[in-house]
Amino acid sequence: MRNLFSKVYNKLMYKIYIYKNKLQLVKFIGIKKGKNLQVYGNIKIFGNRCNIIIGSNCSLNEGVMISANSQISFGNNVTISSYSVLHTGYLDLNGFPIKSHIYKPITIGNNVWIASHCIIGGGITIGDNIVIGANSFVNKDLESGYFYAGTPIKKIRKLN
């Protein structure tokens, strides 16, 4: 009896897993993506999904938020850790008190790791072979081959 229950339970869990994967695939309709995209947990995507281009061997972790009112492109081997935010828009202060937004693209190079709780602003270009430390605010372009951290972001040291 226990074996029968175990087989039925395993089949049921398999169907739920497949069902969740189908739900996950629905989130990515319209996004241009390469091979081996890994998604761990729930992510939120706002704006136009057609503005998102994801390279091969990328991973997005729990709580990542992507606001794609302008283009966001990921290179290959990019990891976005938990609860990081990529936001293409910001307020236009020149038109104050009238509130308007400006949208600029975000470009992320190859072999980039963005640690937990980072915020990437619009109009930013992140080079290749970069690690960004946790809780960092990226408000300027980042040169390839370095470790960056802080709020606002600072170059810490060269990577090997």
- Which positions ≥6 away from 106 have C-beta within 8 Å? 70, 71, 72, 73, 86, 88, 120, 121, 122, 123, 124, 125, 126
How sure is the predictor about 38, in pLDDT bands with cuts at 50, 70 and 90?
Answer: confident
pLDDT at residue 3 in the model:
60
Percent of the chain beyond pLDDT 90?
Answer: 59
Residue ranges of alpha helices (H) inside 28-143 are: none
- Report domain extents, the chain: 1-30, 32-158
Tell me which CATH code domain 32-158 carries.
2.160.10.10
pLDDT at residue 120 in the model:
96
pLDDT at residue 69 in the model:
92
Stated pTM of the model: 0.80
How sure is the predictor about 13, in pLDDT bands with cuts at 50, 70 and 90?
Answer: very low
Please identify every residue annotated as catalytic: 87
Sign of CA dihedral 139, 140, 145, 146: negative
Mean local confidence (pLDDT), 93-118: 89
CA atoms within 13 A on the CB side of 73: 11
Mean local confidence (pLDDT), 108-131: 96
Q: Which has the higher per-residue pLDDT, 98 or 79?
A: 79
Mean local confidence (pLDDT), 133-153: 95
